[in-house]
Amino acid sequence: MLYVKYYLYFQVMIKISKRRFKNIKEWTKFALAIACVVVFVVYFIFNIWSPVRNPISVVVPRGASVTGMTNYLYKNNIIKSKSLFNFSIKLNGGKIMAGEYELPRGAGAWTIASMLSHGRVATTTITIPEGYTIIQIKNMLMNVPYLTGDVDCNKDLPVCNLHDGDIFPDTYRIARGTTRLAVLDLARKKMLDVQKSFENMDYPKPLKDWNDVMVLASIVQKETPLKREMPIVASVYLNRLNINMRLQSCPTVIYPLTKFEGDMHGAPLLSGHLKIDSPYNTYTHNGLPPHPIANVGRDAIRSVLKPANTKYLFFVADGRGGHKFSRDYSEHQKNHEIWREIKKELNK
């Protein structure tokens, strides 16, 4: 073994040096020089002596043995010495962990052994956008190459029976090779934590429970992407609910119209669509829809629990990414006419 040869060589050098040097200071200097050489050689053998010329991915299958992985790494010219790698594994605890690893350029035996022994697997980030429906989230996850498995299951588990409002949109850092169901369950559990963080807050009238809060938050989330506008939009809908006025929210029409995907894919929403027969359609039904129409972030939830104090009952797009709000229908019609003119210009 290479490192044994170096060890024997330095032992011989030390014996020779003891016979040659009688002065303690000279011997000390020589010993320090030898120690520096030894440290460099050991560092070179364990960390620099590497055939890995470019970053490379290595997958350790579940249940793989140290011997099996050693043979695989040696056969694929990822390590120079089997015995050196096995020795490094023993010094790191003697075990390896399953997963996908991204080995850096120039990774030596010690670096690779340390990564495999401590489970420093390659990671990736998954961002679930606010306002996405369960269908959109699942479609998105199916297109992430570093994940494994399906997004649906038939077992009696919460992750197998997800509904809109169950998932918390956020950026998640996960190990490559993680199953898609595990990602969904992680986001589901995060939503439970978020719900707990709001549990001491009072519900504004006429909301009665957490489902009501999430339903209205999902409508607010779909109506505006602007954080500063969310409390105002929430106040509009709460004002309408309190006088038994229909919400008349277009996203509540799009939701059943698209079979709960929530995306028209560029198709226009026509006046005839507003008559769709669905309990989610707030143009034809009073009150809130039965369930959330999307998955929402903290800002939308907070906007419902702490709405702005307004008397607004209407709002329409202002052509700049926001909305114009009004108290009465005549003012709303004027704002709507302005929006029509803006749309004409935009269409040109």
The string of pLDDT tens digits covering residues 296-310 is 999 999 999 999 999
- Which pair of tokens denotes residue 236? 């509009």
Residue 57 three-state SS: strand
Preceding omega of 206 cis (within 30 degrees of 0)? yes
Q: Provide mean pLDDT across the span 104-114.
A: 90
| Alpha-carbon gap, residue 251 to 229, rounded angstroms | 17
Helices H / strands E in the chain, number of each: 12, 6
| Alpha-carbon gap, residue 74 to 223, rounded angstroms | 58
| Alpha-carbon gap, residue 145 to 246, rounded angstroms | 44
pLDDT for 148 equals 93
pLDDT for 320 equals 85
pLDDT for 41 equals 46
pLDDT for 53 equals 87
135 Cβ contact list (under 8 Å, min separation 6):
260, 261, 262
| Alpha-carbon gap, residue 20 to 208, rounded angstroms | 92
pLDDT per residue as tens digits for the range 20-53: 555 565 556 555 555 554 444 444 444 455 788 8
| Alpha-carbon gap, residue 279 to 273, rounded angstroms | 14
Beta-strand ranges (E) seen in the chain are: 56-60, 99-103, 123-127, 171-175, 314-317, 323-326
16 Cβ contact list (under 8 Å, min separation 6):
none
pLDDT for 2 equals 46
pLDDT for 42 equals 47
Q: How far is CA 235 from CA 67, 283, 295, in A?
A: 65, 18, 20
Q: Provide mean pLDDT across the span 52-77.
A: 93
Q: How far is CA 238 from CA 217, 227, 245, 304, in A?
A: 11, 18, 10, 8
| Alpha-carbon gap, residue 197 to 107, rounded angstroms | 44
pLDDT per residue as tens digits for the range 151-186: 999 999 999 999 999 999 999 999 999 999 999 999
pLDDT per residue as tens digits for the range 283-297: 999 999 999 999 999
Q: Which residues pair with 329 in a beta bridge?
A: none
pLDDT for 248 equals 97
Q: What average pLDDT does the structure give for the chain? A: 89
| Alpha-carbon gap, residue 107 to 127, rounded angstroms | 30
